[in-house]
Amino acid sequence: MSSLASRRTHDITPEAFLRRVRRLYGEVRADIRRALEAAGNDPKSLPKELWKEIEAKERRVFALLLIGFGMASMNNWFDWHEEQDPGGMDRDGADKQFTLLADRRATWAARTVNRTTRKKLIHRMKTYEPGESMRSVIQDVIPDSRIVTATRTEMQAAQGLGPEAIRRESRRIYKKRTRVHSVLMLGACEHCLVCPLFHRVDMKFVREFFPSAMPIHPNCCCRQVLVFGLKKEVLAEGLMIPNPDRREIIRAMAKQGFKVPQYRRRS
Ligand SMILES: [Zn+2]
Ligand SMILES: [Zn+2]
């Protein structure tokens, strides 16, 4: 596998990220409009291939953007690891993890966005009046606000790919002796009831409740950061705090209206 280092020059700015996602959804809107017209405006009889093609297109664009936007953070965390543990990690190994994570995230994002689009389209067409402009119908289904939210979410996700790649690679190399742990760092933006409970908590625990972390919800500005040391050391230093009570998290999630995962009893 070629090193990602060669792609370092393709750093993507937040503006470029948003521009590219807007362009993508300009195309997606047109694709759906054309297909809908060909299907006699029946959203349920749109061919499966259409959604597959759209999803594949989204996946490709998101993967490139995630890699381009997440690269700076990846470089920083790799350098951080070099300082803590000189020569302890191979760049190619870390890059492999990074690309894998970006692809996985892009697949997830494309699937999630698409599912919402299909649902919204079917819902919107229920109130469709003959003569209504199809352009404005599609605009209702994919408004700019959705594009902005998706962009913000994926930019957040991109920032988390680097630290997660480093954590995984360390885990792969050192197994249980790994000294790289990731914790959630509370952001400065308006908080929900849940995020503050996760401040400095092990991301492994956070994932029990939010499997697709990070971000754990739209517009969440919390970050995933790495701490270095044996688990008991980082706990003693307060770099990580012990896991909070599960029931407290579940109560807060329910209050906030987040989908609460099936409670798994631990033996
Ligand atoms: Zn939150
Ligand atoms: Zn948050």
The domain segmentation of the chain, as residue ranges, is 1-175, 179-267
* pLDDT the model gives residue 230: 94
Residue given tokens 């998101």 in the structure block: 62
For residue 198, the CA-to-ligand 2 centroid distance in Å is 9
| Residue 31 pLDDT class (50, 70, 90 cuts) | very high
> Residue 4: pLDDT above 50?
yes
Token pair belonging to 35: 């297909």
Over residues 34-38, mean pLDDT? 94
Could you report the per-residue pLDDT of 135-180, keeping only the tens digit for each?
A: 999 999 999 999 999 999 999 999 999 999 999 999 999 999 999 9
| Neighbour-count burial of 176, counting CB atoms closer than 10 A to its CB (0-12 exposed, 13-18 middle, 19+ buried) | exposed
Q: Within 13 A of 138's CA, how many CA atoms are on the CB side?
A: 18
Token pair belonging to 258: 């987040």
Q: Which ligand is nearest to the CA of 201?
A: 2
Could you report the per-residue pLDDT of 79-135, keeping only the tens digit for each?
A: 999 999 999 999 999 999 999 999 999 999 999 999 999 999 999 999 999 889 999
> What one-character-per-residue DSSP string does 8-56 give?
GGG---HHHHHHHHHHHHHHHHHHHHHHHHHTTT-GGGS-HHHHHHHHH
For residue 66, the CA-to-ligand 1 centroid distance in Å is 22
For residue 141, the CA-to-ligand 2 centroid distance in Å is 27
Rounded to whole angstroms, the Cα distance separating 201 from 185 reads: 8
Q: Which ligand is nearest to the CA of 213?
A: 2
User: Which is it for the CA torsion 203, 206, 210, 215, positive or negative?
Assistant: negative
For residue 27, the CA-to-ligand 1 centroid distance in Å is 32
> Residue 189: pLDDT above 90?
no
Rounded to whole angstroms, the Cα distance separating 71 from 76 reads: 9
> Residue 267: pLDDT above 60?
no
Over residues 213-241, mean pLDDT? 92
For residue 41, the CA-to-ligand 1 centroid distance in Å is 39
Rounded to whole angstroms, the Cα distance separating 47 from 69 reads: 33
Q: What is the 3-state secondary structure (H, E, C) of 146-207?
A: HHHHHHHHHHHHHHHHHHHHHHHHHHHHHHHHCCEEEEEECCCCCCCCCHHHHCCEEHHHHH
